[in-house]
A and B are shown apart, each in its own frame.
Chain A
Amino acid sequence: MATARYDRLIDDLRSEYRPQREWAEGRGLFLVIGHFLVGVAAGTWLMGLLYGVIEALIVAFALACLGGLAHLAFLGRPERAWKMMTRTASSWIARGFWGLSLFLAGGFLCLVPELWTGAPWSANSALSMAGYGLAFAGMVVLIVYMGFVYTSSKAIPFWNSPLHPVLYIAYACRGGTAALIIVMTASSRPIETGSALLEVWMAITAVVAVLWLLELQSAATGGNTAARRSVRELLAGRVALYFYGGILVIGLAVPAVLVAGIAAPLSQATLAAIGLASVVGDFFMKYSSIRAGIYLPLRTHHE
Chain B
Amino acid sequence: MVIDLKRCIGCYGCQLSCKAEHGTPPGVLFARVLKREEGQYPTVRQIFLPVLCNHCEDAPCIDVCPTGASFRWEEDGIVDIDHDKCVGCRACMMGCPYNNRYFNEERLDYFHDAGATPYEEARTMRHQDGVVMKCNFCRDRVRAGKEPACVANCPTVARYFGDLDDPTSEVSRLIKERDGFTLHPEVGTGPAVYYLPQ
Contacts and interface: CB of A to CB of B under 8 A. Distances in A.
Interface of A: 2-3, 5-6, 9-10, 13, 18, 20, 22-23, 26-28, 74-78, 80-81, 83-84, 86-87, 90-94, 97, 149-150, 152-156, 159, 293, 295-296, 298-303
Contact of A154 (B69, B96, B132, B195): B96
B183 A84 contact: no
Nearest to B94: A153
A77 B95 contact: no
Interface centre among A22, A75, A155 (most CB of B within 10 A): A155
Contact of B87 (A81, A152, A302): A81
Interface stretch (B57-65, B73-81, B150-158): B57-65
A83 B128 CA distance: 17
B34 A298 contact: yes
A26 B103 CA distance: 13
A207 B174 CA distance: 53
Given A83-B68, A91-B91, A301-B184, 12 more contacts: A5-B105, A6-B108, A13-B29, A22-B90, A23-B90, A76-B88, A76-B90, A76-B132, A80-B86, A83-B67, A155-B97, A301-B181
Nearest to A1: B106
Contacts of B51: 298
A2 B27 CA distance: 10
Given A155-B99, A302-B195, A75 B89 contact: yes
Interface residues of B, number: 53
A155 B94 contact: yes
B197 interface: yes
B49 interface: yes
B26 A84 contact: no
B93 interface: yes
Contact of A84 (B62, B67, B184): B67
B87 A76 contact: yes
A86 B27 contact: no
A74 B130 CA distance: 10
Contacts of A26: 105
Contact of A302 (B97, B105, B106, B183): B183
